[in-house]
Amino acid sequence: MNIINKVTLKALWKNKVRTIVTIIGIILSVSMITAVTTIISSLQNYLLELFIEQDGDWHGNASGIPYDKLAELAEDPEIESMTTIQNIGYSFLEESRNKYKPYLFIAGMDGRFASTMPVKLTTGRLPENPSEIILPAHLETNGGVKYSAGDVLELDIGIREYDGACLDQNVPLMGPDGGESERFTVKERRIYTVVGFYERPSFEPFSAPGYTALTIDDGEKTYTYDVYLKVRHPRELYDFMDETFYGYKRTINNDYLRLFGISNMGSFLGVFYGLGAILIGIIMFGSISLIYNAFSISVSERTKQFGILSSVGATKRQLMRGVLFEAFTLSTAGIPLGILAGILGIGVTFKFTEGLFSSLLGGSTKAVLHLHVTWQAIVIAAVIGFVTVLISAYIPARRAKNVSAIDAIRMTRDVRIEARKVRTSGLIYKLFGFEGMLARKNFKRNRKKYRATVVSLFISIVLFVSASSFSSYLKKGTGAVIDPAEYDIIFTYTPDTAEKYTLNEIFDSLSNVNGVTESGYAVMNSLYHPEIDAGNLSDEYLEFSRKSYNQDLKEGEYTYINVMQYFINDEVFRRFLEENSMDIDFIMDPNNPRPVVYDYVKLFHYQEEKYYTMELIKKDVKTINMTKMASMDGLFFSREEEKNGRTQYIYTDDYGNEMEFPAQKALMDHSIEVGALTAKKPFMVVTNQGRHISLLYPYSAAHKVLGEDFGYSTVQMFFKTKNHSAVYEKMLKVLSTMGLGTGELYDYAESLESSRAIITVIDVFSYGFIVLISLIAAANVFNTISTNIGLRRREFAMLKSIGMTQKMFNKMMNYECLLYGIKGLLYGLPVSIGVTYLIYQSIKSGLETTFFIPWYSIAIAVGSVFLVVFATMLYSMDKIRKDNPIDALKEENL
């Protein structure tokens, strides 16, 4: 070891406090970087486990595949693995209480299916041969059909047909009541022994007409198959599925693939890649500033030492290498400890938040957010940490090596006194007295330490506001794409099928179930694309229509807009009006009810691959001009007629088949007077997608608006819960006790687990990121100010020796705190707004959004700056107060 390195180690050992402070800075910085990389890897692993648990470990699916094509797929070199399920057929369940699911659907698994797909047994075992079968648990809870293990089932199995075509599980029951419009044909009889039960599978669509029962594939070649596969090159999956399964129904496991950065929505991923780059930059910037200050102060203390070494022959290169050797030595201690601290901290955090994620997601998933450390996360943290330390040490070392030996020994570079430059304003003396003037002169004669503290505050402000902006835009961008419904459970009440109880009796019974946090009910009615006068539409939408649909609409021209009516129970509706300061008497006028128009839509521009959010209706519109119903999904009605005292629209298809649709006389051929326009909605109203507005009325206005058609309407009850799975089970028991069918009760939250999990993860990540950055910022300020105060011990001792009292000290330091805070904010806030604008530009590339500044974060930053500065000053001055002036005057830093 050369002499410079020995001197460096001696200096580190002699100045233990400074060395420990620097190592702590490195540990803190590296631990924060490790925490971020570990959080990302852990959250990614958690979502992966969640998606596999819910949907299975596969890339693409194709249904209705003939047996002959399976051999061809097995030889395809692009397919890495494949599992199949044999579509044996349907068996009619006469005892089913769910009129929309009157069948048992029998499917045969191959050897890989149960391990690849989410087949989760509740009791019993998996079938081992084609004569054994397992049944889904919701056959009993949803359909009211109960079997036990060991029961022997004799099933008449056949096919569903409609217009000569066979129907599968992806096609809901055809026909308004009990499947009258579709035909069921029995093909064979089979006997099965029940050997177990399993949870409702995700591969059974919620609208499927059959409960999926699983047996073993018997190899019969006349059946079709559903194929689930993984490919060797996932990024080419979309083209592969289109080419290989052209003409067949196919789906992609989007949630699973999105975790690997595979999506056909390229610009959406680009948004988050851009935000991720900004995130890494913020962390690096904060880490460098934290460690740089420690090294800068260290080099400043050792300036005299460098001068002595230079005077005895040390070269500039040797001095530089000495500082870098110091950085390397401190890194060998700080980086491993920082990595361990980061992993330990996140591990403990996840241990305490395991239950949080489960409760946030309704407790229905077995996936647990636990610590998942990858070698990539460790290497990235170590490399970034080491580069950060080297950069932090190089900058002050480069400056120190250029100081001449004499200047370094005399330390003339650190303290320069020129009368003109230390002159202070008389206003400062009047406002802050002698103490303020003295503090101001100190800043002017020793600008380096003053500047280091201001820069530290400046960086902290930028870090905190940028982190808050990043999180706000990230959540807003995610919400623009993923916006699951706010309710958890739905119960559909049909007046003519539940005569024992009134609507309010059923609603009260379900609302009072323990665990329900909010409830409401509504009648929903679609107006089947009525046409609206373009003069009522906003300029923003008309411009979008020109770009996206090539429509140049003028006032007086009509275009179809989806319109949905909601008749919401009066209590919830009235509370909604009060919360949004709307005119209750005007809107809920019983003689002339006026709708609240919920007008906030998300539109996707396919040419630009970009989401837009906007309002369709002009803000100053008092009435909306609508024409007679013209079409539904492009299907034109041939005539209208009176039937059973009700007006019906008749649609005739290409085969001469007729379908009836009820007329809404109250809304046809006239204008709707608007009660209010709003971008807010009650929790049971879904977010408008596409060209869609919602008309919100109180339930008491339904008869007035719908007239004769209201008597035939069904009512949907909506419930928000603490734990949707537990509440769902309790509601099943309540309905069974009342003698009501359970088939209309739907655990909607179960189908939204993936979307809600992503949003929950984004929330946790965002707030966790803000906390991490806040810690870096606070540590940065504390380290800089406390060290600078420590270096002024001789100065304070000298002031004490000439009679400066503690009260005068406090007054001087208060002025310094104000100056630090004001200067830091003066530089930090404009730069923070600039960084926020860069984040906005990044997300704007894939999502239409407006620029906003997180004012709440700026307010917190302003308050926190003065809080941290004053707290640090109090801590540092408390230590200085205990010093012996004589000992402090004799101190020499080497």
* DSSP-assigned letters across all residues of 721-789: ESSHHHHHHHHHHHHHHTT--STTEEEGGGGGHHHHHHHHHHHHHHHHHHHHHHHHHHHHHHHHHHHHH
Give the pLDDT of residue 113.
92
pLDDT at 564 over 90: no
Q: How many domains does the chain have?
A: 4
Give the pLDDT of residue 741.
72
Give percent of the chain above pLDDT 70: 70
Clarify whether residues 545 and 621 are in a common domain: yes
Residue 781 lies in a domain: yes
Query: Which is more confidently placed, 822 or 422?
Result: 822
pLDDT at 364 over 60: no
CA distances from 27 to 332, 338, 386 (A): 11, 4, 11
CB atoms within 10 A of CB 671: 13
Average pLDDT, the chain: 77
Residue 126 lies in a domain: yes
Give percent of the chain above pLDDT 90: 17
Domain boundary among 227, 252, 277: 252
Task: Say what the pTM is.
Answer: 0.60
> What value does the mean pLDDT take over residues 267-271?
47
Return the DSSP state at 174.
P
Clarify whether residues 635 and 544 are in a common domain: no
Domain boundary among 252, 284, 303: 252
CB 727 within 8 A of CB 719: yes
**Of the candidates 62, 65, 85, 90, which has an alpha carbon nearest to the alpha carbon of residue 182?**
90
pLDDT at 264 over 60: no
**Of the candidates 13, 12, 786, 29, which has an alpha carbon nearest to the alpha carbon of residue 323?**
12
3-state helix, strand, coil in the chain (%, to 5): 50, 20, 30
Please, which pLDDT band fits residue 633 given cuts at 50, 70 and 90?
very low
Q: Which stretch of 92-106, 362-376, 382-396, 550-564 has the lowest confidence by average pLDDT?
A: 362-376
Residue 260 lies in a domain: no
**Of the candidates 104, 114, 133, which has an alpha carbon nearest to the alpha carbon of residue 56?**
114
Please, which pLDDT band fits residue 653 given cuts at 50, 70 and 90?
low
Give the pLDDT of residue 665.
39
Clarify whether residues 525 and 463 are in a common domain: no
Alpha helix segments (H runs only) across 312-446: 316-360, 375-401, 405-410, 426-445
Query: Which is more confidently placed, 268 or 237?
Result: 237
Helix (H, G, I), strand (E, B) or coil at 360: helix
Give the pLDDT of residue 211.
94
> What value does the mean pLDDT take over residues 561-572?
87
Q: Which stretch of 267-281, 432-446, 667-681 has the lowest confidence by average pLDDT?
A: 267-281
Residue 636 β-bridge partners: 631
Best-predicted range by mean pLDDT (120-124, 311-315, 368-372): 120-124
CB 79 within 8 A of CB 230: yes
Clarify whether residues 582 and 713 are in a common domain: yes
Query: Which is more confidently placed, 631 or 110?
Result: 110
Please, which pLDDT band fits residue 742 given cuts at 50, 70 and 90?
confident
Please, which pLDDT band fits residue 254 given cuts at 50, 70 and 90?
confident
570, 576, 581, 584: CA torsion to nearest 10: -10
Amino acid at 261: G
CB 610 within 8 A of CB 267: yes
CB atoms within 10 A of CB 430: 10
Helix pair 753-791, 316-360: axis angle to 10 deg: 140
Q: ∠ CA 688-693-694 to the nearest 5 degrees? A: 90
Residue pLDDT, tens place only, 658-700:
666 555 433 444 578 888 988 888 888 877 666 778 889 999 8
CA torsion sign for 303, 309, 313, 314 is negative
How many CA atoms, within 13 angstroms, populate the side-chain half-sphere of residue 443?
Answer: 21
Give the pLDDT of residue 777.
66
Clarify whether residues 616 and 687 are in a common domain: yes
Query: Which is more confidently placed, 606 or 718?
Result: 718
CB atoms within 10 A of CB 836: 24
**Alpha carbons 145 and 154: distance in angstroms, whole number:** 15
Best-predicted range by mean pLDDT (24-33, 126-135, 347-356, 431-440): 126-135
**Of the candidates 35, 76, 208, which has an alpha carbon nearest to the alpha carbon of residue 138?**
208
Q: Which stretch of 88-92, 127-131, 645-649 has the lowest confidence by average pLDDT?
A: 645-649
> What value does the mean pLDDT take over residues 463-484?
69
**Alpha carbons 521 and 543: distance in angstroms, whole number:** 37
Residue pLDDT, tens place only, 179-198:
457 888 999 999 999 999 99
pLDDT at 702 over 80: yes
Residue 879 lies in a domain: yes
Q: ∠ CA 253-256-258 to the nearest 5 degrees? A: 100
Residue 692 β-bridge partners: 562
**Do the strands 103-109 and 210-216 form a parallel or antiparallel pair, or are they unpaired?**
parallel
CB atoms within 10 A of CB 377: 23
Clarify whether residues 562 and 478 are in a common domain: no
Clarify whether residues 292 and 308 are in a common domain: yes
Clarify whether residues 195 and 286 are in a common domain: no
CB 32 within 8 A of CB 326: no
Residue 426 lies in a domain: no
Helix (H, G, I), strand (E, B) or coil at 537: strand
* Tokens (6 digits) for 553: 């609409």
pLDDT at 65 over 80: yes
> What value does the mean pLDDT take over residues 789-805?
74
Give the pLDDT of residue 854.
81
Q: Which stretch of 81-90, 119-128, 337-346 has the lowest confidence by average pLDDT?
A: 337-346
Please, which pLDDT band fits residue 231 given cuts at 50, 70 and 90?
very high
* Beta strand extents in 465-515 (DSSP E only): 489-493
Clarify whether residues 195 and 276 are in a common domain: no
**Do the strands 79-92 and 152-162 form a parallel or antiparallel pair, or are they unpaired?**
antiparallel
Helix (H, G, I), strand (E, B) or coil at 718: strand
Please, which pLDDT band fits residue 40 given cuts at 50, 70 and 90?
confident
Amino acid at 699: Y
> What value does the mean pLDDT take over residues 329-357?
80
**Do the strands 596-598 and 692-698 form a parallel or antiparallel pair, or are they unpaired?**
antiparallel
Please, which pLDDT band fits residue 575 given cuts at 50, 70 and 90?
very high
**Alpha carbons 193 and 260: distance in angstroms, whole number:** 42
Clarify whether residues 274 and 314 are in a common domain: yes
pLDDT at 263 over 80: no
Residue 744 lies in a domain: no
pLDDT at 222 over 80: yes
CB atoms within 10 A of CB 86: 23
pLDDT at 349 over 90: no
CA torsion sign for 511, 516, 522, 525 is negative
Residue 883 lies in a domain: yes
Give the pLDDT of residue 394.
77
> What value does the mean pLDDT take over residues 848-863?
80
* Full residue range of the structural domain in which residue 303 is found: 3-49+266-414+446-482+756-890
> What value does the mean pLDDT take over residues 473-494?
71
Return the DSSP state at 164.
T
Give the pLDDT of residue 268.
44
- Host H or E run for residue 531: strand 531-533
**Alpha carbons 174 and 90: distance in angstroms, whole number:** 15
Clarify whether residues 110 and 88 are in a common domain: yes
Give the pLDDT of residue 82.
94
* Tokens (6 digits) for 109: 């698994």
Return the DSSP state at 637.
P
Residue 502 lies in a domain: no
Give the pLDDT of residue 213.
95
Give the pLDDT of residue 735.
86
pLDDT at 890 over 70: no
pLDDT at 591 over 60: yes
CB 646 within 8 A of CB 660: no
666, 672, 677, 679: CA torsion to nearest 10: 50
Clarify whether residues 61 and 13 are in a common domain: no
Please, which pLDDT band fits residue 103 given cuts at 50, 70 and 90?
very high
pLDDT at 106 over 90: yes
How many CA atoms, within 13 angstroms, populate the side-chain half-sphere of residue 190?
Answer: 23
pLDDT at 230 over 90: yes
Which three-class secondary structure string do you get for 649-708?
EEEECCCCCEEEEECCHHHCCCEEECCEEECCCCCCCCCEECCEEEEEEEHHHHHHHHHH
**Alpha carbons 372 and 43: distance in angstroms, whole number:** 8
**Alpha carbons 358 and 55: distance in angstroms, whole number:** 18
**Alpha carbons 445 and 254: distance in angstroms, whole number:** 63
Please, which pLDDT band fits residue 596 given cuts at 50, 70 and 90?
very high
> What value does the mean pLDDT take over residues 292-306?
65
- Host H or E run for residue 447: helix 447-481
Q: Rg (Cα) of the chain, in Å, rounded?
A: 36
